[in-house]
Structure 1
Amino acid sequence: MAGRANSIVAARALGLLAAMFLSMFSAMTVLATDEVRAEPIRGAGSTFAAPVIARWAHLYGQVRADGGDFVSPDWTVDYELVGSLAGLMRLEQPELDFAASDVPVTPEELERRGHRQFPFVLGGIAVVVNLDGVKVGELRLPGAALADIYLGRVTKWNDPALTAANPGLTLPDLPIAPVYRKDGSGSTFALTEYLSAASPEWRERLGAATLIAWPVGTGAEGTQDLIRAVQATKGAIAYAEFGQVARTSMPFVALENASGRFVAPGPEGFQAAIDSVDWSQTRDFHATLANRPGEAAYPITAATFAIVPSRRSRARIDRVHDFFRLAFDQGGRDARALGYVPLPASLVERIKQYWTEEQNTRG
């Protein structure tokens, strides 16, 4: 009897061990599957950069397929156009691989949250108007006058502050209808950075932010709604990413820069602004691009940054880097076709070194 009892105990022990082993094996299998499962690269944020991200995502799939018919989910990019602020907020979600923001995150905040960032495309914010008889780039706006429009001080298009800057242009006796982004937007940050530099009152009352309490005007959700609002309203004025504005044929204005010159948005003005930045003196590529010095510099130049959580798995971070590496190496033509400016080669090399340093830190 004793022998039989011992046999039963031993059998139960073996059964328990087997169950424990199977449970551990199943858990390890789930973890391994989660690590290697084919999934899209997931990003969210900037509407400013959305067109070029979409074009690069198509290019990425084509290059990685290498002429074949099979396209793995690993070679796709799932990007949500939610605005810079919402993109940064969603970065706390574990399934997101990167956020795209037109506002660089401070090095201190990056360190606190365990994130890294780098710029990936350059462009600018155009100020657009709906005025009959005004051609593209013909209307000139001083920064202080633009601030006064959004402060509610300048309310008519034939206001002396505007006619003085446009002596050869007949401006109508028409109310100005300001339109702004009511969602958290990097475009709003870029505009308000410029207004803060041009107007002491704006700087003291409102400052620069992705989301502000606008004194006057009508709010629009996202770039497309903003553009539609301007197109539907005579006398309207607003701001949006240059490439998207250029594709609508809406007239945009020339803005006064730090050197007192009126410059229309475009690749030359964006490049001049970027060239004035010494990126070697920045930390985590944090730099202000508004109202840069130089006669040719466009004053609302902007860069879009990828913010990547460094606490994700190395495989996920490397996939994000792989996508942007291909964009840097082969996506310049696409960026230019959409009205952006590709990063200078020297800046791209600095970013790739930044990635290498991160990899070495992670081991």
Structure 2
Amino acid sequence: MSSKKIVAPLALVAASVIAFSGCAANEATPAGRPGGGSTAAGLNRLTGKGASSMSVAQTTWVADFQGANPGVTVNYSPDGSGAGRDAFKSGAAHFAGSDRALKDDEMGAGKFAGCSADSSALNLPVYISPIALIYKVDGVTDLKLDAETAAGIFSGQITTWNDPKIAALNPGAPLPAASITAVHRSDDSGTTENFTDFLAQAAPSIWTEKAAGTWPNAFPGEAAKGTAGVVSAVESGKNTIGYADESQAGSLGKAQIKVGSEFFGPTADAAAKLVDNAKKVDGRSDNDWSLKLDRKAEGQYPIALVSYAIVCETYKDPEVAKLVKSYVGYIASDAGQKSAQAKAGNAPLSADMVAKLKTSVDSVK
């Protein structure tokens, strides 16, 4: 099957729907096209909820998929990773989008209402993107930070923009003698978990809290809901800084982060190297691809997220399994990844990971 971005003329749309109609519940749509669809009696609506970071990518994937499959509706609600995981657990969503994989104590048979009683979940990384430290500071168009300085800002230990530690990293920059307003997420967020994981790994003497999806009460700042809320608060404020998926940073400044002796901006290529350095989490099934990220390795942008599609190993309803396999199979394919990159600027999965995820998606029942 060609891996080029799909264009869905009538003939291909018809072929895609016909192909889906003849699929058994344990057959995946071929990778590389947004196949799937509905039969007269089959499921024609898929519900997902979760990470707001990949809302641009999900909008792109949904448009591709629905365009190739008339009569099928995919609803993805970007209410945050925590909300997505909760909805998946309760059976309110067929799949979740999450900026972290499920933890060991969240996994296991009997914990997911939409899955068979003997089924656990699979964590499938489908979206890789840098998290930008976005800022709006009077007179500053180029900002450089290291892990310790970022941790100092967000922990409340560094409170003004002309602090000597910021000035040392930005010689000659017109840093104002103004208070810093640091904006963080108010909701349970995988973006927050990835950002605090970076701070905890790279600046443990300053960031004394563990990585977490909810902002620690010990540290101050202004709270805003969702990625859009953080971007809006930084943009509408004065002398502000926050963190958000790079694809939604708009025209705001984006800090460069020092790793070793080099500074890296939040680019897709630099973020992809973080995933290249990742290891698979021990103790999971062969078809689960939860990853452990090394935030301190050199030659990479260290603040990136890997967003997962969380699905059942086995669904209670085979019609749900069929449509989940078709949709998630498309977004994890080379064509789906490249389609999202054009709009969201994510780092596409490697060919090796695409092949591994195809095997995992094929295993869903």
Structure 2-normalised TM-score? Answer: 0.80
For the pair 1:123 / 2:129, whether they are aligned, the reply is yes
For the pair 1:59 / 2:60, whether they are aligned, the reply is no
Structure 1: how far apart are the matches of 2:191 and 2:298?
Answer: 22
Structure 2: how far apart are the matches of 1:281 and 1:89?
Answer: 24
Structure 2: how far apart are the matches of 1:282 and 1:133?
Answer: 50
Deviations 1:180-208 (A, max 9, x none): 1011111101110011012224553x211
Deviations 1:39-81 (A, max 9, x none): 31100000011111111101001222xxxxxx21xx2211111
For the pair 1:78 / 2:82, whether they are aligned, the reply is no
SS of residue paired to 1:213: coil
Shift in CA distance, 164/330, structure 1 to aligned 2, threshold 3 Å: same
Which residue pairs with 1:176 in the alignment?
A: 180
Tell me if the contact between 1:107 and 1:286 (Cα under 8 Å) persists in the aligned partners. no
Q: Deviation at 1:326? A: 2.1
| Largest Rg, 1 or 2 | 1
Which residue pairs with 2:214 in the alignment?
A: 211
Which residue pairs with 1:91 in the alignment?
A: 88
Which residue pairs with 2:254 in the alignment?
A: 252
1:192 to 196, 201, 204: 196
Letter in 2 for 1:232: S
Structure 2: how far apart are the matches of 1:188 and 1:91?
Answer: 20
For the pair 1:140 / 2:141, whether they are aligned, the reply is no
Unaligned runs of 5+ in 2: 1-39, 112-119
SS of residue paired to 1:164: helix
Structure 1: how far apart are the matches of 2:197 and 2:60?
Answer: 29
Which residue pairs with 2:304 in the alignment?
A: 301
Aligned Cα RMSD in Å?
2.2
Which residue pairs with 1:341 in the alignment?
A: 347
Structure 2: how far apart are the matches of 1:334 and 1:289?
Answer: 25
SS of residue paired to 1:103: coil
Deviates more, 1:175-184 or 1:163-172: 163-172
Structure 2: how far apart are the matches of 1:278 and 1:326?
Answer: 24
Letter in 1 for 2:347: V
Letter in 2 for 1:249: S
Shift in CA distance, 145/292, structure 1 to aligned 2, threshold 3 Å: closer
Q: Deviation at 1:278? A: 4.7
Tell me if the contact between 2:100 and 2:190 (Cα under 8 Å) persists in the aligned partners. yes
Tell me if the contact between 1:193 and 1:290 (Cα under 8 Å) persists in the aligned partners. no
Deviates more, 1:36-45 or 1:227-236: 36-45
SS of residue paired to 1:118: strand
Letter in 1 for 2:152: D
Structure 2: how far apart are the matches of 1:119 and 1:339?
Answer: 16
SS of residue paired to 1:111: coil
Identity of aligned residues (%): 27
SS of residue paired to 1:209: coil
Q: Deviation at 1:94? A: 2.8
Tell me if the contact between 2:147 and 2:202 (Cα under 8 Å) persists in the aligned partners. yes
Deviations 1:253-303 (A, max 9, x none): 00123x3422110111112212223559784212223515232x1111111
Letter in 2 for 1:162: I
Tell me if the contact between 1:120 and 1:304 (Cα under 8 Å) persists in the aligned partners. yes
Tell me if the contact between 2:278 and 2:294 (Cα under 8 Å) persists in the aligned partners. no
Letter in 2 for 1:264: G
1:110 to 107, 114, 119: 107
Structure 1-normalised TM-score? Answer: 0.80
Tell me if the contact between 2:43 and 2:323 (Cα under 8 Å) persists in the aligned partners. no
Q: Deviation at 1:252? A: 0.7
Letter in 2 for 1:175: S
For the pair 1:262 / 2:268, whether they are aligned, the reply is no
Unaligned runs of 5+ in 1: 1-34, 65-70
User: RCO greater where, 1 or 2, for CA within 8 Å and sep 6 or more?
Assistant: 2
SS of residue paired to 2:274: helix
Letter in 1 for 2:278: V
Larger % of helix: which? 1
Structure 1: how far apart are the matches of 2:322 and 2:82?
Answer: 24
For the pair 1:230 / 2:234, whether they are aligned, the reply is yes
Structure 1: how far apart are the matches of 2:319 and 2:261?
Answer: 49
Shift in CA distance, 95/234, structure 1 to aligned 2, threshold 3 Å: closer
Which residue pairs with 2:290 in the alignment?
A: 286
Structure 2: how far apart are the matches of 1:88 and 1:202?
Answer: 30
Structure 2: how far apart are the matches of 1:280 and 1:63?
Answer: 35
